[in-house]
Amino acid sequence: MSNVHERLRRLLFLVPYVSKHPGVTVEALAKALNISREDLLEELDLLTCVGRPPFNPDDYIDIYVDNDRVYVDLDQRLFAPPRLTAGEAAALAAAAELLRPATGDALQSALTKLENIIPPAARERFRDMYRKIDASADAPPALGPITRAILERLEVTFGYASPGRPAEPRRVRPYELLSHRGQWYLQGFCHTRQDARLFRLDRMEDLAVTTTAFQPPPDARADVPNPARGASEASVRVRFTPTAAPYVKERFGQDARPLADGGVEVRVAGDSERWLTQWVLSFGGEAEVLEPASARAAVARAVHASIGS
């Protein structure tokens, strides 16, 4: 097994090294890898068989020796940065803003890189749309710490203030965060109540992430009431493309109705126009409101406002 690991290490070193030092001699490359010339040529032969599905001729790594010097030609698609439209970039930036409490300066660096890959002619449109779609304005301070606790599977403690009652100490195993009708909620198991509960983040006080680890049960999220999975008389029917379907299925479970094209359809509460439009627009064109007409009109107004038309 150690020989396999060592060979893999050499192969992973070879391609970027030769790409950075085109025309390196066989002797110099063998010395850098601390192997013999014969072993190096054997590794180069193996690399010519490495590619990515569907393994068309131009999908393989073209690494070769010419006049005792080594060269590599990679699939050009590996070099081309993605080119986003202004709308695609704004949707990505708006979704990323939800992570700002947990990422801080790292998010700003990522957003700067995002702007740099937008074609110059579309950058001003992106900046204008990004200023209008600010998903972080209402993000509570607890969002970042709870996100970390969920990822690291650590229990949290906080004081929870119910309407008309003083804050009560709670110790919770956090399972899931969700945003619904402009409010952020935490789903988890409450040790204080010995039951699965739903907590509004804006009612939490003195939140702390503990060092107590836990293992959530397979059906943890299904045990907790989820306001986004319910329906009401004022429900809105929303259709999602196959691209967004996996996320929606995970979020809504059996309430997500599969469609013939691979997409899904769900019903959500429609009593908050502000939440509905922000939620639909966050999918960047992968979601469409089907009915009622008033909800379609609300989303259309938000779209026109975001593009300045």
Report cis status (omega within 30 of 0) of the bond before 120. Answer: no
pLDDT of amino acid 285: 79
pLDDT tens-digit readout, 41-81:
888 888 777 665 555 555 567 788 888 898 887 655 545 55
pLDDT tens-digit readout, 192-240:
888 888 888 888 889 999 999 998 887 665 545 454 444 444 588 999 9
Using DSSP bridges, classify how beta strands 204-213 and 257-258 pair: parallel, antiparallel or unpaired: unpaired
Mean pLDDT of the chain: 76
Mean pLDDT across 259-280: 79
- What H or E segment, with its residue span, contains residue 102? helix 100-103
Position 168 pLDDT exceeds 70: yes
**Percent of the chain whose pLDDT exceeds 70:** 71
pLDDT of amino acid 144: 79
Angstrom distance (rounded) from CA 105 to CA 90: 19
What lies within 8 Å, CB to CB, of 145 at 6+ separation is: 102, 156, 207, 208, 209
pTM of the model: 0.38
pLDDT of amino acid 199: 86
Position 2 pLDDT exceeds 60: no
Position with higher pLDDT, 276 vs 60: 276
The answer to whether the Cα torsion of 202, 204, 206, 208 is positive or negative is negative
pLDDT tens-digit readout, 105-134:
666 777 777 777 777 777 777 777 666 554
pLDDT of amino acid 137: 47
Mean pLDDT across 10-36: 87
Mean pLDDT across 26-30: 90
pLDDT of amino acid 25: 92
pLDDT of amino acid 268: 80
pLDDT of amino acid 158: 94
Position with higher pLDDT, 190 vs 285: 190
- Strand-pair partners of 289: 238
Distance linking the first and last C-alpha atoms of the chain: 62
- Write the single-letter amino acid at 213: A
pLDDT of amino acid 230: 46
pLDDT of amino acid 59: 59
Asked if residue 175 lies in contact with residue 188, where contact means CB atoms within 8 angstroms, the answer is: yes
pLDDT tens-digit readout, 149-159:
888 889 999 99
Position 174 pLDDT exceeds 50: yes
6-15, 83-92, 156-165: the lowest-pLDDT one: 83-92
